[in-house]
Each structure stands twice: as C-alpha cells, then as structure tokens.
Amino acid sequence: MGIDRRRFLSTLPALGAAAALPEALEAVESAPAAVTPEALAASERLLGLEFSEADHQLALKGVAENLEDYRKIREVALPNSVAPALVFDPLPQGFAVPQGEIHATLAAAPASRPASDDELAFASVATLSRLLAAGKVSCRELTELYLSRLERYDPLLHCVITLTRERALAEAERADRERREGRLCGPLHGIPWGAKDLLAARGYRTTWGAEPYQDQMPAEDATVVARLAGAGAVLLAKLSLGALAWGDVWFGGKTRNPWLPEQGSSGSSAGSAAATAAGLVAFALGSETYGSIVSPSSRCGTTGLRPTFGRVSRAGAMALSWSMDKLGPIARSVEDCALIFAAIAGPDGLDRPVYGAPFRWPLAVEPGRLRLGYVRSLFEAKPGEGGEESHANDLATLRQLEAMGFTLVPIELPQDLPIGPLSVLLNAEAAAAFDDLTRSGRDDLLTRQEEQAWPNVFRLSRLIPAVEYLQANRVRTLLIARMAELMQTVDAYLAPSFGGENLLLTNLTGHPAVVLPNGFRKDGTPTSITFTGRLFEEDRLLAVAMAYQQATDFHLRHPDLEAARTPAAPVSPKAEKT
C-alpha cells in the first residue's frame, strides 16, 4: 500500500460518526434479533443521512431482508484470488490501446569484472548480463554471492521472509548449463532476483507479511515469477512487505533502510527496495496500489517502475485493490527496469484487463523535441519542516533537465475534482479482499493495531455505502478524462515524489511512473524525483528518465553496510519451508 495515508479518515461519509456510534451500538444490542427504527436512525447518522420516521417504517422489512441476503452471500467461500465481476478500465473515452510486440535488447559493450565481490554485488543487471555473456562470472557464483549477502545482512535489515536456496541453486545450475550450450533466454538469463512475498512461488510459503497467512503454500508460481523463470532469472528469496501491503512492519519486525538502519525502509515493497539497495539481490519485483513502489524506492535510493494499470498480470499475487494494484520492478537503474519490464509485461489470459501493448527498448529520445512538463505549484511550494533538502534537489533536477535541452513546460494537475476522498475506493476494495479476516476476528493477529493500520481501516470501511463507492468511481471517470487532456500537452511530466496529490491521482488513473534518486541529504539518505508518462508509453517514459540518470551519478552510490552492521549481530537466515 505504501505511504502514510493521512486522509483516510476523511473518506468516511459521516462527519458525526464518533457521536452516533454509541447510540447505534446501543440500539443494535437492545434488539439483536430485529431491525428497529432507532437502529436505522443511528445508522443513518454514521453515513451523513437523515430520513423521516415514515421512511424508517417503510424500510424496516427491506433492511431485514437485506441482512438475510448478506448472510447468504457471506456463506460463499471467496478466496483472495477471486476478483469482482466489475473490471476497472483506465482508458479514457476514445482511447485506442496501441498494438505491437514487446521487444528489448541489451546493447553489446565491454564488461570488466569489478575488483571486489562487494562491487560485483552492486553491479547493474545490464553489467551482470554482459559479464555472464563474456564468461567473466557464472550464475552459480553470483547466486552464492547474493545468498551469502542475504544471510549476512538480513539481521541488520530484516528484509527476508524466506530464502529459496534450493530453487536458486537449481536454477543457477540450469542457467549456466544453458549458457554453455548456447541456449540463451535474453538479458536476464542467470540474473539472481528477489520477490515481494505477496507473489506466489511454488513450493515456498507466501505470507503476505501477515501472521494469519504465514503458512500459505501456493501450488503454482505467480505469472510474473513464471515469466522471470522462463527468462532464466534465478529466484533467491521471498522479500518482506508490510503486513497485507501497508508500511514496512511485518510479523518478523520492521524492514530497515540500508542507508540509515535506524529508519524503516518504508513500504509496502519494503524488502524489495532494501535488498536491492543493499546489493543483496540484482533486482526485485514490488507492487504498488498507493505508493508501494514509489515510497520504498525513494527511501532506499533504488529506481522503480510502476507500469500502466493493465500492463502486467497480477495472477498469483495477493489482491488488495482490484482497480489499483500494479506489479513492477525495483532495480539499480532505469535500464534495468526496462529489461525486467519487458520480461514480465503482457497478457496471460488469467488477469483482466491486461493489454498486449508494444514496448521497444532501447528507445532513443531527442531532448529538444520533447515537451517535459513539471507541476509548477509543487516545485514552487514552500517545503515543510525537514523537506528543504529534498526541495533543493528537486529544483536542481529541473535545472539539470533544462541544461540537457529538454523543453520544460509548466503544468498543473486537475484542480476541480476531489482527489483525496477517492481513496475510499482503495479502502472499500481492501476491506472486501480481507472481509473474512475481519469477520472472523483474526485481524487481531496482525502486528500493527492502531488507528492507521489495516484492522481498523477494514472495520471502518464496512461503513462505506455501495452508493458512495460507485459515485467515487464516477468521479474517477471524470478524473481520467481530465488527465487524458493534460497528457496531450506533454510527453511526460515531473513532480516531487510526494508532492501534493500526484501520487494518489496517478494511481487512480493508472498512469505509469518512474521514481529514481536525485540527490542526498546531509544524513546520507537519498531523495527522489518521479517522472510520469502517458498510458502504455513506458518505453518513452523510461528513455526520458534514463537520459537524466545517465547525466547524474546518484544511482551509482551505495550504502556502507559494514559500517552500519552491529558486529555482534547474529547471522540468522530464514529457513526454507517447502
């Protein structure tokens, strides 16, 4: 889920909920077997409504019948994998999805093996691929190096839920054998990686970071896991996520930021970002609903791609919000994200809707011929306390892009629609996805039990009327149209990663985004900037972001884990459960 959602309470339609709740409970408790006018009146106040006594009398029978219908529906077993019959479509009216193939290649270039294993561990996917092709390193060697680092540094970072050692070594042996035989699967062949533990991996538990689900054993790989296996990549570990995809706290503790381990890594793709930034995997997959790739990538200094909604199949992934969930790569460079994206994108016949749009990589761009927007009000806004360094780095990013020849165009995001309140959509869908957890009382098993944590949100979301959910979706339709108009004026645009409502807005409209480091604070932690592109134009968006990244060196810097590591910290790798 991602960053702290400060507005979540404001999505409830009842301003007087706190005052009315005791009365509603009292009315229900006094007549547990019947619906009373008093109970109806109290319930209406929770929803910001008021009907007459005559209205109540007319409604009594219907409400009782509805309750019986709800009971029957609740008797149906609904696993998390069962999606609603309603399918979200991010396409504006009249938008035609481009057709074409997904094609990505890695340009040939000299590759020198780094002087030390530590440097090798921090090499990009592109560099590792060239080293493997040149025979200067084997997949088995890389796999053992990363497994060793995962064991060594996980006690510091708490980013591993399960090591998949047995599978990793078998896949590494196969990749080396295939390379020797000349049977190459592409640039990811032999590259070790880690999966956010909401992605199913056959034979290994998939815990979703939450106590009630920590012994789940999927029978099949998630589509993205299977596609990476088909591309020759080697799965090293199931990496931590905040419980049920919110934050960086899971049943094994808080995942830490490699740059400053006293600080959490943010979430919910907490382990994916921390492990990648720390050189414990070559890359990882994460997911985003509302900031879960952008936020931990910003905190940990990685490069993350949140693809267009409907670009990557979510089959085999935990569902949080069917209309907002997206899967994408977290890596050490934009180029790496492009290579990974090409391997996982495209329809599989299991997740709807996933479109077969084209992707070409590499894609050359001429800065002088592109209109690059920037949200002027967000760059001109006075930074809040503690945000001065991030703000300075954001302004420096604009200057760098201008110096590179990009035409910078000031823009503003849609102002005439309520964005924050639309997070009611996420709350309602998440509560439905985990309805059984709430009604069974097993939500008490989750580590985080506080106002802004899932157990409380799931319960409160029971007060969201179906009418308000649908009305919010209608407003979302208008927002999609506004963004379509805006994106016709620019090829892509920049915004501070957490500026204004851009993060929620673009997750609602399904637009792709790339987040990458753009500087550092005095305490050594990284800052980030976010590029947002047009629907299904990930290749152009990545090409623009890569041009900026190649003109800077922020992504080439790495945390000093030995300096941060407690000398007495025990090595305690997570045991496989197969």
Known catalytic residue at 577: no
Give the contacts of 5 (CB within 8 A, at least 6 positions apart). 290, 423, 452
What letters, b where the CB count within 10 A reaches 16 and e where it falls short, cover 79-95? Answer: ebeeeeeeebbbbbeee
Report CA-CA distances (Å) from 232 to 105, 149, 201, 306, 513: 15, 21, 15, 23, 26
Per-residue pLDDT reduced to its tens digit, 488-510: 999 999 999 999 999 999 999 99
- Reported as a single tens digit per residue, the pLDDT across 268-320 is 999 999 999 999 999 999 999 999 999 999 999 999 999 999 999 999 999 99
196 carries an active-site annotation: yes
pLDDT-derived band at 28 (thresholds 50, 70, 90) equals very low
**Rounded Cα distance, 245 and 422, in Å:** 19
pLDDT range class, residue 35, cuts 50, 70, 90: confident
pLDDT score of 32 more than 80: no
**From the candidates 124, 292, 295, 323, which is the catalytic residue?**
292
Cα dihedral value 497, 498, 499, 501, nearest 10: 110
Residue of 43, 129, 138, 196 with catalytic role: 196
Evaluate whether 349 touches 355 at the Cβ level (below 8 Å).
Answer: no
pLDDT in tens, 431-474: 999 999 999 999 999 999 999 999 999 999 999 999 999 999 99
**The pLDDT of residue 9:** 35
Return phi, psi of residue 429, to 5°.
-70, -40
Active-site residue, 295 included: no
Q: Other C-beta atoms within 10 Å of 369: how many?
A: 10
Q: Is residue 18 pLDDT above 60, yes or no?
A: no
Find residue 529's DSSP bridge partners: 496, 516
| Contact criterion met (CB below 8 Å) for 332 and 283 | yes
pTM: 0.92
Catalytically annotated residue among 124, 266, 268, 333? 268
- Strand-pairing partners, residue 239, are 160, 196
Cα(473)–Cα(88) distance, rounded to whole angstroms? 9
- Stretch (H or E) spanning 563: helix 561-564
Measured CA to CA, the distance from residue 27 to residue 47 in angstroms comes to: 16
Q: Could you report the per-residue pLDDT of 511-534, keeping only the tens digit for each?
A: 999 999 999 999 999 999 999 999
Rounded Cα gap, residues 422 and 382, in angstroms:
26
Distance (Å, whole) CA 59 – CA 41: 11
Which tokens go with 320? 């949080």
